[in-house]
């Protein structure tokens, strides 16, 4: 099948999305992590825009705009503000064993592609190979949340996971109904605010944003 230019472009953006997910997995600095997150949002918004253009669907333009607004501007701005206020802007996390994490990440990508293979064959839409990439970036973000010990990177992982899901929605299905997308966007925004409140509560109580301080709740403690 001859690939159209727009399709090639979407595939390029999809691979960039996956690459950014790997970059986030190995990034130690909180500031760069947030910038990577903003970049991922930009790629996402661009790919939504291209899908909208090539399939000529009106509501996808809205979701592309919404993504640009929320994930490239509002959320990174909120996160930047938070880390400035919390004074963790220049924090560097000591990550153990980046090579192993990367290897696990590669295994996850293979797993995701395998899982999505039967579904990709069914899709008639122009972007059918992309659901595997979307699932892979969701799983990579999940891995990132598991390996981080600080609150802010965990939250960035959470938001990146939502990016992967959004990519699945636009690539595999040409976008969910607009009312659902608006609802999801609202939930993500509120969640980010609540995360912000939590950062302050955690720091006030534990004197740091290190999650490993809070491992008191076990079944056989006291």
Partner 1 sequence: MIDLQLLALLLTPLLGGLLLAAFGSRSWAAELNSLMSFCTFVAAVVLTMRVIDSGPQVAFNEQFFIDQFNVFLVALTAFVAFTTSLFSRPYMRIEQHHGKLTTPMLHLYYSMYQMFTLAMLVALTSNNMGIIWVAMEAATLTTVLLVSLYRTPASIEAAWKYFILCGVGIALALFGTILLYFAAERVLGEGGTALLWTHLNEVKGSLEPTVLKLAFVFLLVGYGTKIGLVPLHSWLPDAHAEGPTPVSAVLSGLLLNVALCAVMRSKVLVDGSLGTHFAGNLMMGFGLLSVVVAALFLSRQKDIKRMFAYSSIEHMGLITFAFGMGGPVATFAAMLHMTVHSLTKSAIFFAVGHAVQKAGTQQMENIRGMLQISPTVGWGLMLGTLAILGMPPFGVFASEFLIITTAMHDYPWTTPILLISLGIAFAAIFGKVQPIVFGETTARRLPHQPALVPVFVHLLLVLALGLYMPPYLADWYRQAAALLGG
**Token pair of 206, please?**
């534990």
Site for partner 1 in 115-154 (CB under 8 A): 115, 118-119, 122-124, 131, 135, 138, 142, 145, 151, 154
User: Residue 34's closest CA among 87, 70, 72?
Assistant: 72
- Residue 210 DSSP class: B
- Sign of the alpha-carbon torsion through 29, 32, 36, 37: positive
Contacts of 130 (CB under 8 A, 6+ apart): 10, 11, 14, 167, 168, 171, 172
Q: Which of 92, 103, 106, 180 binds partner 1 (CB under 8 A)?
A: 180
Closest approach of Cβ 222 to partner 1, in Å? 6
H helix and E strand count, the chain: 8, 0
Position 12 contacts partner 1 (CB under 8 A): no
Binding mask 73-112 for partner 1 (x = CB under 8 A): ----------------------------------------
Closest approach of Cβ 168 to partner 1, in Å? 5
Q: Which of 12, 23, 78, 211 binds partner 1 (CB under 8 A)?
A: 211
Q: For residue 11, count CB atoms less than 10 angstroms from its CB and return exposed for 0-12, middle for 13-18, buried for 19 or more.
A: middle
Number of residues in contact with partner 1 under rule CB under 8 A = 49
Which secondary-structure segment (H or E) carries 55? helix 30-55
For partner 1, the closer CB: 90 or 218: 218
Whether the CB-CB separation of 114 and 141 falls below 8 Å is answered with: no
Question: Which spans of this chain sit near partner 1 (rule: CB under 8 A)?
Answer: 57, 115, 118-119, 122-124, 131, 135, 138, 142, 145, 151, 154, 158, 161-162, 165, 168-169, 172-174, 176-177, 179-180, 183-184, 186-187, 190-191, 194-195, 197-198, 201-202, 205-206, 211, 214-217, 219-220, 222
């Amino acid at each position: 099948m001859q690939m159209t230019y727009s399709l090639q472009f979407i595939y390029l953006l999809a691979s960039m999305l996956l690459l950014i997910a790997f970059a986030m997995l190995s990034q130690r600095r909180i500031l760069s992590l947030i910038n990577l997150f903003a970049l991922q949002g930009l790629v996402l918004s661009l790919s939504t825009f291209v899908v909208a253009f090539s399939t000529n669907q009106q509501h996808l333009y809205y979701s592309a705009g919404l993504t640009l607004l929320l994930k490239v501007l509002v959320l990174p701005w909120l996160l930047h503000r938070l880390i400035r206020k919390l004074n963790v802007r220049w924090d560097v996390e000591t990550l153990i064993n980046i090579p192993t994490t990367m290897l696990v990440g590669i295994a996850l990508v293979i797993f995701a592609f395998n899982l999505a293979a039967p579904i990709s064959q069914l899709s008639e839409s122009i972007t059918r190979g992309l659901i595997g990439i979307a699932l892979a970036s969701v799983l990579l973000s999940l891995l990132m949340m598991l390996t981080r010990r600080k609150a802010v990177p965990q939250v960035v992982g959470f938001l990146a996971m939502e990016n992967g899901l959004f990519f699945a929605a636009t690539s595999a299905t040409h976008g969910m109904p607009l009312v659902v997308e608006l609802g999801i966007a609202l939930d993500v925004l509120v969640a980010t605010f609540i995360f912000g409140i939590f950062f302050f509560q955690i720091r006030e109580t534990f004197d740091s944003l290190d999650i490993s301080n809070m491992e008191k709740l076990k079944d056989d403690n006291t």
